[in-house]
């Protein structure tokens, strides 16, 4: 079974630009969560989607947004990039239909560098 895939793996952008990252979950998984990982803040939850609906959101500004398609693939978008948005962006998928300790399977991440 193929794992979670993320594209692109690496990205360089300049301040003020916008970026779209893509995540394909494990086949059959309907929940996709996104995280930002930085050396200073560690792994922080951005949002979660299930059946094309955002069910949960972390404490990030509105410049960070996402969506999920009917095939469970998900995208996240960051507008008006700032230097501090440089990070590894991870997505994770799971079976979960409700909250709880469902296992999340992580992709390899997209490393974003903002210059």
Residues that bind another protein (CB under 8 A): 4, 31-33, 35, 42-45, 48-50, 55-56, 58, 90, 92, 94, 96, 98-109
Least distance to another protein, CB of residue 100, Å: 6
Query: Nearest approach, Cβ of 16 to another protein (angstroms)?
Result: 28
Q: How far is the CB of 53 from another protein (least distance, A)?
A: 10
Burial of 99 by CB count in 10 Å (0-12 exposed, 13-18 middle, 19+ buried)?
A: exposed
Cβ closest to another protein, residue 19 vs residue 31: 31
Q: Which is nearer to another protein, 16 or 108 (CB)?
A: 108
- Cα 5 to Cα 8, 12, 94, distances in angstroms: 9, 19, 13
Contact 111, 88 (CB under 8 A): yes
When the beta carbons of 50 and 78 are compared against another protein, the nearer one is 50
Residue carrying structure tokens 């999920």: 68
Cα 92 vs. chain centroid, distance in angstroms?
8
């Amino acid at each position: 079974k193929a794992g979670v895939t993320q594209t692109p793996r690496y990205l360089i952008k300049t301040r003020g630009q916008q970026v779209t990252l893509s995540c394909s979950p494990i086949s059959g998984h309907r929940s996709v969560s996104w995280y930002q990982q930085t050396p200073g803040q560690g792994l922080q939850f951005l949002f979660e989607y299930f059946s094309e609906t955002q069910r949960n959101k972390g404490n990030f500004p509105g410049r960070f947004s996402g969506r999920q398609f009917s095939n469970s693939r998900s995208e996240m978008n960051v507008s008006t990039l700032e230097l501090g948005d440089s990070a590894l962006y991870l997505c994770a998928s799971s079976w979960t239909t409700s909250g709880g300790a469902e296992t999340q399977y992580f992709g390899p991440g997209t490393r974003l560098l903002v210059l």
